[in-house]
Structure 1
């Protein structure tokens, strides 16, 4: 397909339009002679160009070209709108197709992925297919150190503006590599929160497809790891409800620091996340002694005698719930 065909015009139309650009306002007969085409062919092409907004006809015999930035720009916008409509229709038809398949074959609701590679490939496919949002929970142990790497599917999802929310177990923050990973994800737009404990690893895409491990996580035998993929069912909806409840209980995680960030609020947030002192000191770039001094100062400022009371006072002031 040529560029002109992409906007609904033919090669003959392109030749006629370029001829009109060279000799605007002359009779069709002369264009017929110059292009060595019958007048009927030229007149038909002019008619299509007029309909496309690329030619203006002052009289039947003397067509004049229109600025292509106007005519072609309009065509491109129309075609783009049409393609967006086709894309939306395709998504709807795909949902109807999936619903029909599931009704005909209920066993399609459940899929078992066996082995680390198969599980990672299925997660990758789910993330790449996300159109609205992805949510997930994560907790150690991990099958491999490669889990520290931000996958290309995760980056592609965030780069195209799909909302990504994740809940992490506090234990994750004890690992410097994971703190760096979460910081990189936050910079890309991921919204993350933390809980002292996360009950299950889980990923849900667009509220319709979920994947979670079966039995053990397979960390000792990657080839034996198993995960279940659940598609568009009451179970998927229930898992989404579970995530939303956990999200409401979790503490926003703010690992990125700006010059304008309130250091007290930053420290409170890290304390509330469940990070150990060593991890907090590493995150803030201070010594353990300096961190303990800052914690004491925060407790004094909040009128608290313990970290727990400091967390309560911070919550009452609305600190740490800004995501």
Structure 2
């Protein structure tokens, strides 16, 4: 194959355009069996030397070919056939280069596993594993519980939990506690109003677990021996992320400790005065967030209650303080000092599951 370069490809401007001499000559040839330079020059009233130069250009473009047996006569060629003849060498060269480029690309890409496995980013990512299957998550929790030697700390936002999940957790946690492993669990205040949750807390408390509740929101996580954490996924409530990175695990543990210090012990036995106190605390938190301009969805997430319960509580509180609108409620809360330090409130907006 003759070597070609892309600099040899004719320019698009060389193709005969309407109104040009080349277009007139090609149109003249299309309407005749064959043409010659003198006749074409005479009939089109174009200087012979200009026609001769134009014929050379059209021949180069394969739009004219010398007539067989007549060296000075030319015949017009179908533009489709001409383009195939003209561009065939370039198409072949292009395919050869594309094949060579693809081979180089594949050989370069074959080195990616080596690169990824030896970069600092890859090594950090190896300590974080995403798990999207619920059964796989349960299996990992059971294995980590069996391997745990010193302490399990758990933070469970969102209020009430499913009874089936609580039963499964109770069996797993009882096994851990019976081996002498310390266990601390943090709930939101709203979990106190759920009977299955109280029953679960009563069961594990008798085996030595410590359970507390707090009014604010926090992250969902289970940490084993301060080394391995299982945290929730923002886009898949059935999945989890398994974290072995010591820096991230340390941060999660510290966040738990900060919330634990200010949390209140969870008494699984129903105490009317205690329930009233917790309800008042929830109302205070709700008033603060209402005064700070949070919407119902945000407040519900932070308190661990359903949007419907949140709306009902807000409606009741607005009636109590004599507010007709949320704007008026915020003003009255601040004006009358119903909640202290409302100007400095800044609640994080961490997602959690809804619960009553």
After TM superposition, the score normalised by the length of structure 2 is 0.41
Rg bigger for which structure?
A: 2
After TM superposition, the score normalised by the length of structure 1 is 0.45
